[in-house]
Amino acid sequence: MIRKKLALLILSLCAMFLVGCEKVVELTDEETRLIAEYAAELLLKYDINYVDRIDEGNQKAEEMSSEALDKIINGETTTSTTTEDNVKQESTTEKNEDADRHDSESESLDVKAEDEHTVGTEQDVAAIAGIEGAKITFREYFVVDKYPETEEQGEFIHLEASKGYQLLVVRFDVENLTTDILPVSLIDKGLDYRIVCNGRKVAKPMLTILMDDLGTLETNVEPNVPQQAVLVFQISEEMHNNLETMELYVTYNEIENMIKILQ
């Protein structure tokens, strides 16, 4: 019914333009197009079955803006914002506290680890490595420029110290405690050796192909006939002249033992 009335209204307007005046008003194409668009808009506006998506979106935006405005007026937005800020602040505080707690726990763990790190006093390398029937103990140490000395052992393989350094040779006795020939092998044990001089200077043994190198020892030991094995380190001449203490640390399966060399 409304659409019919609108249509009649539009027609009446057109008639007024055409015949209602003494002078006929001629419309341009642009004016005709504008009148047609206006008429169509009026029809669609009052058609309940028509939904304009753009207007619908604008309407929702306006409703949302209206709701937001109402919240601002009622103070809800301020409260919400304050609550969110409080949550963020609490979250940040919790994170900082967690970080501080983590750092504190890490420091405690480090201190605890250092406190719990105990060094054994086992002096038998065979016992440290779990080799039954054998005994490997420190015998002596000496400092030389070359090892072995040819006139002493008659061997062609030897080590020479670098310029300004000397060789620190730590010698061990390898004994068979059984009544049978005993195979002794350390080559696959993965023992770790390090020597500490004067409580602060640390050195690792040299890698050698010496037959009596304790790090790669593989031999058969007869009963009551001890053999010898060595670890060779390189130290400075200055350190040699000022040696006061020496300890050999032997680590096997993450268990460390200290053997006194010089006290």
Kindly report, residue by residue over 150-169, the tens digit of the pLDDT: 655 555 688 999 999 999 99
What is the Cα–Cα distance from 214 to 141, expressed in whole angstroms? Answer: 14
How far does the chain reach from its first CA to its final CA, in angstroms? 118
Give the pLDDT confidence score for residue 149 in this predicted structure. 76
Give the pLDDT confidence score for residue 127 in this predicted structure. 97
Residue 191 is part of a domain; what is its CATH number?
2.60.40
Give the pLDDT confidence score for residue 27 in this predicted structure. 62
Give the pLDDT confidence score for residue 183 in this predicted structure. 97
Residues 6+ apart with CB under 8 A from 167: 143, 144, 145, 146, 147, 159, 160, 161, 206, 232, 233, 234
In 18-176 the beta strands, taken as DSSP E runs, fall at 134-144, 146-147, 159-160, 165-176
Residue 44 in tokens = 């669609």
Let me know if residue 229 belongs to a domain. yes
Let me know if residue 73 belongs to a domain. no
pTM of the model: 0.56
b (16+ CB within 10 A) / e for 181-219: ebebebeebebebbbbbeeeeebebbebebebbbbbbee
Helix (H) or strand (E) holding 202: strand 201-203
Range of the domain at 192: 125-262
Give the pLDDT confidence score for residue 250 in this predicted structure. 98
Let me know if residue 190 belongs to a domain. yes
Q: Position of tokens 């949302």? A: 64
Let me know if residue 11 belongs to a domain. no
Helix (H) or strand (E) holding 33: helix 29-45
How many domains does the chain contain in total?
Answer: 1
Give the pLDDT confidence score for residue 108 in this predicted structure. 34
Residues of the chain with pLDDT under 50: 17, 19-23, 47-58, 61, 69, 72-73, 77-82, 87, 99, 101-115
Let me know if residue 45 belongs to a domain. no
Neighbours of 238 (CB within 10 A): 9
Longest CA–CA separation in the chain, Å? 147
CB 183 within 8 A of CB 167: no
Apex CA 181: angle with CA 180 and CA 183, to 5°? 130
Give the pLDDT confidence score for residue 227 in this predicted structure. 97
